[in-house]
Structure 1
């Protein structure tokens, strides 16, 4: 799930042959994929309140290596002038996911091939300048801060999950999530202004969304949901 698209900004960008910013370009490129991500796979099942504890645990188990790869690659580039602008340890999810899996007693859930492909793509994005990591951070973290907060409330209600099992959606180091999201968007814009290869990052955002969709659909099937 991703940061919501500002329809007015998209309309304005559509009148120009060149997107106004990196953030705007990623939003426009991934608009249709964003809608697909919300309406299919395990994410759609969770949003409809049709998840199970087992399905949630399977989701977390398969997101863990994704975040391990993303956060390791981001930290590797933390001192660089572009990618370093969006490295925010308060967003890191690895410890939170591990805590949830321990709470659920579900650390032994299987990893799917789609997860391995996702991890490989993130490592490829971290190669060289690492600028393509901006797309993966945009896709995952702004989604966690936006739609993830909705999923948290639904999971707490539909699965009767205690807060200790929902650490993935908790950001104790962020006092004001809306303000932080604005600051993170600004950081993405600043990073975009400091580099030339916008097209590569924009296309990587589409790739990141498609990886999420593919994994979500595979997790839905593996969990036996929607059948």
Structure 2
């Protein structure tokens, strides 16, 4: 009986995404500007450039979820109005003021990442589940460690780090558990889980490409063609 129940149970999309992207996640942490940032060798200018190029990605996720909020597949995720686009805009304004720099540029890799998400929002939008997993669950998990690292290594304060502050939504541990459950519900309702898993790998590839591009831009190297 237990075997029958196990076979009929829907597979965990969150677990499958974790397994599929584990190696890519490690690669992302060891590559480009993200690697510099995690070992405390980043810069305020670099962090601002990274945020500028993540902004369109978050905007596409949030716009896509809003368009699909009445879709039974994505309704559990659309219920969470995490609104990170607005927090990135606030952080960028504070960083530009703090650094005395101009607004950092949008790189081709940032544009490509946003296009990838826009394409994932097409059809029933279920591939957005992979990007919500990568970005939002990432912000609620490792992002909190990154926040403390940026406070220590770059001297950033509350005004520059609102991206990692979810207190207006819910208590962090409760929000993380709730959002993970919403991802599971969305994944279980999706008609093609394998497409979501493949999209998760693509999301990490976009992040790695962007991290390398940010590092090259800071070094004054030409964009890779």
- For the superposition of Structure 1 and Structure 2, which TM-score range results when normalised by the shorter chain? 0.7 to 0.9
Partner residue of 1:159 out of 154, 157, 161: 154
Unaligned runs of 5+ in 1: 1-15
Partner residue of 2:134 out of 136, 139, 144: 139
- CA–CA distance in structure 2, aligned partners of residues 109 and 47 of structure 1: 21
2:41 matched to which residue of 1?
50
1:98-137 map, 5 Å: 98-105=89-96, 108-137=103-132
Deviations 1:156-212 (A, max 9, x none): 111111211111111122332122211111111111222220111110011111111
Instruction: Check whether the contact 2:11–2:188 (CA below 8 A) recurs between aligned residues.
Output: no
Partner residue of 2:217 out of 203, 208, 222: 222
1:82 matched to which residue of 2?
73
- CA–CA distance in structure 2, aligned partners of residues 86 and 46 of structure 1: 30
Q: How many residues align?
A: 209
Query: Cα RMSD over matched residues?
Result: 1.9
1:172 matched to which residue of 2?
167
- CA–CA distance in structure 1, aligned partners of residues 67 and 12 of structure 2: 25
Instruction: Check whether the contact 1:100–1:167 (CA below 8 A) recurs between aligned residues.
Output: yes
- TM-score normalised by length of structure 1: 0.86
Q: Secondary structure at the match of 1:91?
A: coil
Partner residue of 1:190 out of 162, 185, 201: 185
**How much has 1:36 moved relative to structure 2?**
0.7
**How much has 1:133 moved relative to structure 2?**
0.3
Deviations 1:104-158 (A, max 9, x none): 2256211111111111111100001000000000000011111111111111111
